[in-house]
Amino acid sequence: MSRIPRLLPRWSKRCLIGVCVGAMAAVSANEAAAQNIKTPNGHTDYRAEVEPHFALAIFRRGLIAFDGHKKDPYFGVPGVGGGLRASIEVADPAFIPKLNNTIAISFGMDVTTCDVCHNDAVLYFPVALQWNFFFSKEWSAYGEVGPMIRADLGDQVLPDLYVAAGGRYQFNDTVALTARLGYPFFTFGVSFFIPDAK
């Protein structure tokens, strides 16, 4: 009988530790399950995303070349510059209701150097449909497609195409690192998420 009181504290400590570890694992599992690709709306609740970024224009010439540059190659010295993109969420969940995905309209402006342009710089004004897929709390990917206006700093304004695929790493609910690769850019920047008004 005297051994039972001594064993009880050890047993209760082990049970308490086991219950705590199990509860933490269950909470972590529930949180992970709430923020994966198969859980619609399991992502940061945001209304808009604002993204300043560095831009590298890989395709120099454009689908329609500026006057006097129709024979220039598509590749060459890339244009270097920066820009800003704003994306407004319009559907959540989007085209696949059972997945953690959203649709946004993305628009913005980029300016890069251009050695095949009359004024050594070019402005880009893309407008795109952005389809986002949220794989976890931290990681998401997206595709973008839409029309774009390309301007040789006012001398010429031409239509063009904008296509890109990218990804984000979210540090928290409001800030993420963002990169995209496509036509005509590679961009790398920081996204700021504006929460949905309740």
Task: Name every residue whose Cβ is closer than 8 Å to that of residue 98 and which is 6 or more positions away in sequence.
Answer: 38, 40
Name the fold adopted by 46-195.
Answer: Porin (2.40.160)
Q: What ranges do the domains of the chain cover?
A: 1-34, 46-195
Stretches in the chain below the pLDDT threshold 70: 1-35, 60-61, 66-76, 154, 198
Nearest one of 191, 161, 160 to 175, comparing CA atoms: 191
Nearest one of 114, 168, 118 to 143, comparing CA atoms: 168
pLDDT of residue 14: 58
pTM over 0.85: no
- By DSSP bridging, strand 139-151 and strand 175-183 are unpaired
Q: What is the pLDDT of residues 26-67, one digit of tens each?
A: 444 445 445 687 878 788 888 999 999 999 998 766 777 766
